[in-house]
Amino acid sequence: MDLARSLGSKPANIYAWFHAAVKRYPTIKKVGNAQYRLAGSAPAAKSSASTRKVGRPAKAAPKSKGPGKGRRRSGRRGALREKIVAALRQAGSSGVRIKDLAKNLNVPNRNLQVWFATTGKKTPGVKKIAPGTFKITG
């Protein structure tokens, strides 16, 4: 609060800067609730020839995406719907659990949960008969 008042800035902006600065500058340490200290020397100042705006962090290199992140669709649009409807028809009136369907279709369980919560509701004939269990009518 004191620093924000003396700089004429909002406290939230100062807090956000320190929150990011702790990651960028290892010499800035958090010592308490909204309290920071400088351990060692101050970070070196950039030359005036720099084209970056002052106070803006440089863009970081793109992070590598983990498994399954940012992959392209393996099939055509709507292929999963067709597979799910076919499996529901095969299961009959007893229906099928999402967990079992995920194993059969080799699809992550969470993907099917989201599908049934969104697209499944709009698909004619798909009915929820128990928690995590669905069947197709008609």
- Condensed to tens digits (0 to 9), the pLDDT of residues 51-83 reads 455 566 666 666 666 555 556 666 788 888 899
> Residue 54 domain-assigned?
no
Is 56 domain-assigned? no
Calpha distance 76→2 (Å, rounded): 58
| CATH at 111 | 1.10.10.10
Does 66 reside within a domain?
Answer: no
Task: Please give the chain's pLDDT, 138 residues, in tens.
Answer: 888 899 898 989 988 888 888 888 888 888 888 788 888 877 666 655 544 555 666 666 666 665 555 566 667 888 888 999 999 999 988 899 999 999 999 999 999 999 999 988 888 899 999 999 999 987
Is there a domain that residue 94 lies in?
Answer: yes
pTM of the model: 0.47
Domain extent for 31: 2-38
Q: Indicate whether 45 belongs to any domain.
A: no
Extract the tokens encoding 11: 């406290």
**Residue showing tokens 């008969």:** 129
Whether residue 103 is contained in a domain is answered as yes
Looking at the structure of the chain, the number of domains it has is: 2
The neighbouring-strand residues paired with 136 are 126
